[in-house]
Structure formats: C-alpha cells, structure tokens
Amino acid sequence: MRLKTKRFIKKRENLLPRRKKYCRFCKDNVKSIDYKDIRLLESFVKERGKVISRRASGNCAKHQRRIAEAVKRARFLSLVPYTHVVS
C-alpha cells in the first residue's frame, strides 16, 4: 500500500496546482437568481442543454439548486431551449 501512495504523490507533484473554485454568487452577495436573466442562465447550460454540474461551475449547493430551478422555469416559458440542435 505504501508504494501506491508514493506513486500517487509523485504524479500529483508533476501536475499544475489547482485553482480554488468559489461560488460567484456568494462572493457578489447575490440575494436571488432570476429565471428571466437569460444571459446568466446560459452560462450554466452546456451546448447540448444540460445544466453544468456544481463541481464544474464551482457554485455552492444552495446556489446550484437555485440555478437549476431557474433554468427549469426558463425552459418551461421557452426563454431557454431544452436542447440545442447540432447539425
């Protein structure tokens, strides 16, 4: 077991240091996330229509839930498409 941990540590040393992700909504002290703000919501939706995960976006759990809820509301009102057609 000791050999495996040493190899893992050695591999990590060669990688670049990771930048700490932060929730931009907590940083900017945002009180609410509006479903009508399409520009903001589209930055959290992949080109195929999926919501970007919390781990990838860096949001905290509370704001990620609010983002997902706002995206779903915007989709229902046809402000944001459910899927993007790739031709």
pLDDT digits (tens, 9 = 90+) for 9-24: 566 666 777 777 789 9
CATH architecture for segment(s) 17-87: Irregular (4.10)
**Distance (Å) of CA 4 to CA 7, 18, 61:** 5, 22, 33
- Quick one: pLDDT at residue 14? 67
**What predicted TM-score, i.e. pTM, was given to this entire model?**
0.74
Tens digits of residue pLDDT in 24-58: 999 999 999 999 999 999 999 998 889 999 999 99
Segments making up each domain of the chain, as ranges = 17-87
